[in-house]
Amino acid sequence: MKSRFLIFVGLMMGLSLIAVSLEAVDTVPPLPSRFSDANIDEVPDFQKHVVPLLSRLGCNGRACHGSFQGRGDFRLSLFGYDFAADFKELNDPDSPRIDTADSEDSLLLTMPTDADIHGGGKRFDPAGWEYRVLHNWIQGGAAFDGDNVAKLTRLEISPTEIQFSATGEAEQLTVVAVWQDGLREDVTPLVRFTTNDDVIAAVDENGLITAGSGTGDTHVVVAYDKAVVPIPVLRAVGKLAGRRYPKVETPTRVDELVVEKLRKLGIVPAALSTDAEFLRRLSLDLTGTLPTATAVEDFLADTSKDKRSKKIDALLETPAYAAWWATKLCDFTGNNDQQLTNTSPVRNAPGEIWYRWIEQRLAKNMPYDELAAGIILATSRKPNQSYVDYCKEMTELHGDDRDHKISQMETMPYYWARREFRNPPERAISFAYAFMGIRIQCAQCHKHPFDVWSKQDFAEFSSFFSGVVFGNTPVGEDRTVYQNMLKDLGISKLRGGELRRELTNKIRAGETVPFPMLYTRAPRKVDENGRSSGSPLQEASILGGNVVRFERGQDVREPLMQWLRSKENPYFAKAFVNRVWANYFNVGIVDPPDDLSLANPPSNAALLDYLTQGFLDHDFDIKWLQREIINSRTYQLSWQTNETNQADDRNFSHQVPRRLPAEVTVDAIAMATASDQEAQRLHAEMKGRAISIASSSERFLQGNNSATFGLMVFGRSTRESSCECDRSDDPTLLQTVYLQNDQDVYRLLDRRNTGWLYQVSQENKWAMTGVGRANNSSNSTSKKPPANYAQLMQSLEKRIAYSRKQGNAALVKSLQERRRMYVQRFGPPNSADQEEPVEDNSNDENIVRRVLGADEIVKQAYLRTLSRYPNEQELAKCVKYINESEDTINGVRGVLWALLNTKEFVVNH
């Protein structure tokens, strides 16, 4: 037999795609060839043939009998993965779809062959092979043994990769199912085929792939039984693919793997970024911090060949690195103070403790698996610690020297305390997002359409989270101790809000008060409806894979953490690697970064596998991962494109300009407008920095008034779930209005003592005459609203009404707060036509008509905003503007304001 390349797909955990060369062995021909003969007497198999055929015909799709309501009093499992339920439905005594005594009279045959009576139209012909398959199964007794479901070992698909060169070219896929008993069958006619981008490649129901008009790469997804397999499809962008590809520098393994893919596509990477571009990009990406003007000057003047790697090492040791990445980890682990209400007598403390605990461990470069274990395996009390001693320790934690106390905490329990994180199904979904980078919520109701997880798999996985409880009052003997503590404090008769207020007052007075506590109990089995059955859990599988058997008294989270840490785990390390990569390239190797499903394959599997294996080999060393990525030439490429890569947005051939995250934007404005001394302080200290605001609630933001509105405008993560979608990176008109017109920006421009304009005025002995618009505003509603302000507010009111109708109280509260902040800034919509205040400084006696050294001032303005020197045209234009200004400092202010409002300032390139 002719040797061919095949792709093997395992169906259990540790799934991988491996191309191997095998000699073809005897394979059962596909159904159409076997059932073309009207006299065939073969009896098809319900699982292997009947259910997949119903899927191909669309019977169990969302629009038909696979919907939650079914159609015509007939409901099938979505995509046909609940064989027992489907078999039972077909044999429903009240409305049977099959008649073994008179097979031709079965509704399963008569309905889909008659377009007049079948709501879904005619699905197949009575003389066709599809009819004969269903007929022979019914005539043969319509059997299905639910206790002996066949196990699919793998799918063998050829070809394993398709490369097109012209529109209209076609390639046929062949899919062979290999079962546990060794049977091999060509199941191509029973497979569901979908394409992830039909502009590049379309696929029909028979697996024929046709090249579209687009160039680039995509995947065609093959689904059969429990297998989901993506097949890469590529079409070169130009004529440089393969042997014609030019020589490209690949100094690191990351570069080699990226260019290996680009060579197939004929995409040539961009040139190397300039030193100025690299420094700004690196500082913003790695530390969330704009480099100071002095830092830019020093870096550009440095002529050493290894200055880039040295700068990477230096920034990894800064407090801003730990602060910014702690914020990112708090995003996907869900540090939301609104969800931590009543978990501590001090209202804001849990969110801050959560953040500081992560920040301190990132600063020490704690391995990621240990950091995650400190969250996942968290406990409130140490072994053999009494409840009273625990409360004393917690009281001290909420007092002075909190940072030192947090550093002594072995674990961080507040992850388990969130209000929306109390039920096992909710915990399973959020946990999978945070630590596995997967979206399993679809499997809560039906088999996941893009992966192998079933409803039963979801229920068993949820059971792992049924043994953790965070309670406001302790249980057992500790409850009596708790009640005695309240008596000793003289507040035992208080309840609700009154009790919480008094506890807060007591702890502020230094008295020991009772604290809520996290504790574990024997896990309970969770059924497919998400309810705990009450019966102890003996064993459970982890998403259909590893089966864990529980010992009496065992913390159910321990085997889960062991599974996550194992080198065979397909999610834990890979999810974190992918998230880190996405931070530097705008998209993940798998994108979205929290969707590592089989139907959403990596754009460069070899690259993701290399980084993941390296991360494991280096014992989950986060800084190793950071260095491996940002020391690559790939990261340091320019954002400016060439003819081959200008349309590339997923193969990392150039940097993609991307809007700065909300926290980074707010800090960048403060940094750019700060004096040299203040800018140095902001680099060294995280106090007052937006990137170090602990939680996402308004209570935390109110402690940083200049950040509150700006963070909302630029889309800071709401942390309402662990989804990447909680953060908004979309540009809006309001962001433009904020930068041009908001009092926060003017206050930062004109601040005395710590502002750069003030520093310039003092150094040149100029009077701060035209003090900015913020000082002329008598109230916060004197700013001109955006042109669409009325429509914006109207849309907001509709969203509030809809959310209230849906019963989403948290979203209603969030939207109402946003409305309040809009009105505070711009007034009610009916006052949207108010005029902006105009300042008049024409009679000021301190105006300087001619500025000496204006060129140096302009250069400093560029360095502190855009992290580069101005070109000749920019320099001349700005100097001219300052020289012609009636008020010198207002001229400088105008230049700085204009730079803050450039696209280059708010975009990282």
Task: Say whether both 629 and 651 belong to one domain.
Answer: yes
What SS3 class is residue 83? helix
C-beta neighbour count of 477 within 10 angstroms:
10
The stretch 592-601 carries a mean pLDDT of 90
Query: Does residue 366 form part of some domain?
Result: no
Which pLDDT score, from 0 to 100, does residue 530 have?
Answer: 66
Query: Does residue 677 form part of some domain?
Result: no
Task: Say whether both 172 and 211 belong to one domain.
Answer: yes
User: Which of 235, 264, 287 represents a domain boundary (last residue)?
Assistant: 235
Q: 424: cis peptide before it, omega within 30°?
A: no
The pLDDT tens digits of the residues spanning 513-571 come to 999 999 888 888 787 666 776 677 788 888 878 788 877 778 889 999 999 999 999 99
Strand partners, 469: 519
What SS3 class is residue 236? coil
Which tokens in the block code for residue 406?
């947090």
Task: Say whether both 227 and 269 belong to one domain.
Answer: no
The stretch 644-668 carries a mean pLDDT of 95
Contact by Cβ (8 Å): 154, 227: yes
Task: Say whether both 749 and 853 belong to one domain.
Answer: yes
For residue 368, CA distances in Å to 480, 510, 641 come to 39, 36, 35
More confident residue, 579 or 125: 579
Handedness of CA 147, 148, 149, 154 (dihedral sign): positive
State the total domains in the chain: 6
Which tokens in the block code for residue 148?
């002996």
Q: Band of the pLDDT at 23, cuts 50, 70, 90?
A: very low
**Poorest-pLDDT segment among 16-30, 33-47, 505-519, 766-780:** 766-780
Contacts of 256 (CB under 8 A, 6+ apart): 250
User: Which of 235, 259, 287 represents a domain boundary (last residue)?
Assistant: 235
Query: Does residue 390 form part of some domain?
Result: no
Residue 496 has pLDDT above 90, yes or no: no
Q: Which one, of 200, 209, 197, 203, lies nearest residue 172 by Cα? A: 209
The pLDDT tens digits of the residues spanning 855-903 come to 999 999 999 999 999 999 999 999 999 999 888 899 999 999 999 999 9
Strand partners, 233: 162, 218
Residue 452 has pLDDT above 90, yes or no: no
Which amino acid, 557? R
Which pLDDT score, from 0 to 100, does residue 447 have?
Answer: 63
Residue 121 has pLDDT above 60, yes or no: yes
Which pLDDT score, from 0 to 100, does residue 91 have?
Answer: 86
Task: Say whether both 903 and 760 belong to one domain.
Answer: yes
Which pLDDT score, from 0 to 100, does residue 305 have?
Answer: 95
Task: Say whether both 760 and 886 belong to one domain.
Answer: yes
The stretch 237-265 carries a mean pLDDT of 95
Task: Say whether both 108 and 192 belong to one domain.
Answer: no
C-alpha 580/C-alpha 267 separation (Å) is 24
Cα 573 to chain centroid distance, Å, stands at 15
Contact by Cβ (8 Å): 394, 534: no
End-to-end CA distance of the chain: 54
Query: Does residue 378 form part of some domain?
Result: no
Percent of the chain whose pLDDT exceeds 90: 53
Residue 843 has pLDDT above 80, yes or no: no
> Averaging pLDDT over each range in 305-309, 789-793, 837-841, which range is the top one?
305-309
Which pLDDT score, from 0 to 100, does residue 800 have?
Answer: 84
Q: Band of the pLDDT at 783, cuts 50, 70, 90?
A: low
**Poorest-pLDDT segment among 186-190, 257-261, 552-556, 859-863:** 552-556
Task: Say whether both 816 and 865 belong to one domain.
Answer: no
The rounded mean pLDDT for the chain is 86
Which amino acid, 370? E
Residue 837 has pLDDT above 50, yes or no: no
Task: Say whether both 775 and 792 belong to one domain.
Answer: no
Q: Band of the pLDDT at 769, cuts 50, 70, 90?
A: low
**Poorest-pLDDT segment among 117-121, 700-704, 838-842:** 838-842
Percent of the chain whose pLDDT exceeds 70: 89
Which pLDDT score, from 0 to 100, does residue 770 have?
Answer: 52
Which pLDDT score, from 0 to 100, does residue 327 have?
Answer: 95
Contact by Cβ (8 Å): 96, 109: no
C-alpha 60/C-alpha 76 separation (Å) is 6
Which pLDDT score, from 0 to 100, does residue 780 have?
Answer: 39
Q: Band of the pLDDT at 233, cuts 50, 70, 90?
A: very high
Query: Does residue 327 form part of some domain?
Result: no
The pLDDT tens digits of the residues spanning 306-362 come to 999 999 999 999 999 999 999 999 999 989 888 888 888 887 889 999 999 999 999
Q: What are phi and psi of 892, to 5 degrees?
A: -65, -40
Domain with 244, as residue range(s), is 237-306+568-657
Task: Say whether both 594 and 579 belong to one domain.
Answer: yes
Which pLDDT score, from 0 to 100, does residue 775 have?
Answer: 41
Query: Does residue 180 form part of some domain?
Result: yes
Q: Band of the pLDDT at 2, cuts 50, 70, 90?
A: very low
Task: Say whether both 737 and 877 belong to one domain.
Answer: yes
Task: Say whether both 203 and 254 belong to one domain.
Answer: no
Query: Does residue 726 form part of some domain?
Result: no
Which pLDDT score, from 0 to 100, does residue 700 have?
Answer: 46
User: Which of 76, 109, 139 represents a domain boundary (last residue)?
Assistant: 139
Which pLDDT score, from 0 to 100, does residue 842 have?
Answer: 40
Give every strand in the sheet of 216-224, ordered side by side.
Answer: 162-164, 227-235, 216-224, 192-195
Query: Does residue 206 form part of some domain?
Result: yes
Q: Band of the pLDDT at 824, cuts 50, 70, 90?
A: low
Residue 103 has pLDDT above 70, yes or no: yes
